Structure formats: structure tokens, C-alpha cells
């Protein structure tokens, strides 16, 4: 997905504030899962929530105001109650890698770990 850097995303040095990259991961993750047919609003109504259990980021180069960024997301692993995603943020104009990172999502119900529904596991697991 593409994301434009707005003034509100930057710090006093005119570069993207480091925590905003996590927001970009979030947007890309949501759109990636939506494209896979995973409708979180449906599962929320059923009492299942998907929460970030772990996040990491490696900052390689800065993005600045008005850059167009491309954020890619892919599945790294799927388990019974959690799944991992890898993210990469590139500057669209030159393909430079700016940030790499990952998130681990945990399925919870009533505040406790819960099994991920089979339909979601199937959507996230590549065919053999």
C-alpha cells in the first residue's frame, strides 16, 4: 500500500517521527488482512480481538515530508493463537528501504489467549 507523509507525521527535523512508522505498519497490516478476506470487525462482534503481542523496527533511513512510501506486508508464521507479519517501508520514488520490522499478533477472547479461527489460519497460510 502507498502512504503519503504529511506534515503531522514529521518531527521538528522534518523527518517522520519514529513512532509513526508503527502506525504505517498498522495501516498496512489492516489492508493486507482485508485483502486476504480477514474481516476483523466480524470477529470483534464474535468477541475475538487481535492484539499486538510484539513489535520490532529497524530504522535504515529517514522519510521526510511529502515522500510517498510503499509499505509491504507478508506473513512469517501462523500458530494456534498468534501469527507473525514482516513489514518493509520503501521510498516509492527510488525504492530505498527506510524501515523494516515485524509484528506478532495474538488472538484473545475475554482477555485470555484464544485459538485463531480456522478460516483466518487458512487465509494466512500459503498453499503447499
| CATH 3.40.50.2300 for the 2-124 domain, yes or no | no
For this structure, is 11 an active site residue?
Answer: yes
For the chain, the structural domain boundaries read 2-124
What are the C-alpha distances in Å from 90 to residues 7, 26, 36, 37, 71?
Answer: 18, 16, 22, 25, 6
pTM for the structure as a whole = 0.92
Mean pLDDT of 32-43: 92
Of 11, 66, 77, 122, catalytic = 11
58-101 pLDDT, tens digit per residue, is: 999 999 999 999 999 999 999 999 999 999 999 999 999 999 99
Cα–Cα separations (whole angstroms), residue 88 to 18, 53, 71, 74, 119: 14, 19, 6, 9, 26
Amino acid at each position: 500500500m502507498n502512504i503519503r507523509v504529511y506534515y503531522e507525521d514529521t518531527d521538528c527535523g522534518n523527518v517522520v517521527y519514529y513512532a509513526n512508522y508503527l502506525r504505517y505498519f498498522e495501516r498496512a497490516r489492516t489492508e493486507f488482512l482485508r485483502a486476504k478476506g480477514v474481516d476483523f470487525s466480524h470477529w470483534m462482534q464474535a468477541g475475538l480481538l487481535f492484539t499486538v503481542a510484539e513489535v520490532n523496527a529497524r530504522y535504515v533511513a529517514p522519510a521526510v515530508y511529502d515522500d510517498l512510501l510503499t509499505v509491504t506486508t507478508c506473513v512469517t508464521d501462523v500458530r494456534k493463537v498468534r501469527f507473525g507479519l514482516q513489514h518493509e517501508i520503501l521510498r516509492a520514488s527510488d525504492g530505498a528501504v527506510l524501515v523494516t520490522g515485524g509484528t506478532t499478533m495474538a488472538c484473545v477472547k475475554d482477555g485470555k489467549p484464544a485459538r485463531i479461527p480456522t478460516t483466518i489460519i487458512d487465509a494466512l497460510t500459503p498453499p503447499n
